[in-house]
Every structure is written in structure tokens, then in C-alpha cells.
Amino acid sequence: MEDKINVEIFGVKGEVPEESGCEGCGGGSCNDVPTMDEETVALQKYFTDKGLDDKVDVTFIDLREEDHEMVSEIKKFLEEGYNLPLVSVGGLMRFYGGIAPEQIIREIERQEKEN
């Protein structure tokens, strides 16, 4: 069996992505905006529905709670103005500001072709 490709979502549990336009007011339509950790659960379900469970391992890393080997790299991205969540595919930082399943699948396919 091939090794799974790790998709790591770096964000803050309970907070919405900055790109959502919600400022965390807790009112109005903001209640409909999924948090970063909820988006990660939805991404895992999306991969399951697509039959990709055997190829992809999805993990949410709460930057307030967890220490991770990529923390120094993440700090650099944030200092350069990139927004959370940051998405790493196969150990390489690839996306920021949101979680786009189809883009992540294309990146996984690209990495598979290279290996």
C-alpha cells in the first residue's frame, strides 16, 4: 500500500477564516460561516465521499494549542501577510486563506505524478 499524502490545515479552532469577511461578531450571517476546524471536518468528509480515504490523511493543527515542526515556517507566512488557514499538502505549504477541496485534489495528483 502506498503512503498516504498528509494534508495539514493550520488554523485556530473555533475561528472563521479571515477571507470569509466575518469579523467574529457572532451575529447575523456570520453564524453560517464554518470555522477552520469545521472546514477541516468537511474536507475529510469530501475526501471520504470521493473514495480517497486510502490516499489522504487530513489533520487540523490548532496553532493556539499545538506545537508543530512547521511553526517557524507558519510564522513567516503570517508575517508576510498570508491569512489562516494555511494548507500544507505532502509537507509543502500550498494554500492560504481558505480550504478549496478541488485545488487540494489537483495538488495531490500533481505530487503523485512526481513520485
Task: Quickly list H helices, 24-97.
Answer: 36-49, 71-79
Report the pLDDT averaged over residues 59-63: 94
Instruction: Retrieve residue 95's grid coordinates.
Output: 494554500
pLDDT at 31: 60
H-run or E-run covering 36: helix 36-49
pLDDT at 75: 87
Q: How many CA atoms lie within 13 A of 19 on its CB side?
A: 14
Distance CA 57, CA 35 (A): 20
- Interhelix angle 36-49/101-114, nearest 10 degrees: 60
Owning domain of residue 24: 5-114
pLDDT at 37: 96
Instruction: Note the maximum CA span of the chain.
Output: 48
Segment 72-95, tens digit of pLDDT: 888 899 999 999 999 999 999 999
pLDDT at 2: 66
pLDDT at 32: 78
Give 93's strand partners: 88
Segment 26-43, tens digit of pLDDT: 444 556 789 999 999 999
Q: What is the CATH number of the domain that holds 79?
A: 3.40.30.30
pLDDT at 3: 85
Segment 1-23, tens digit of pLDDT: 468 999 999 999 999 987 655 55
Instruction: Retrieve residue 59's grid coordinates.
Output: 489533520
Count of domains forming the chain: 1
pLDDT at 28: 44
Indicate if the pLDDT at residue 100 is higher than 80: yes
Q: Is cis: bond before 101, omega within 30 of 0?
A: no
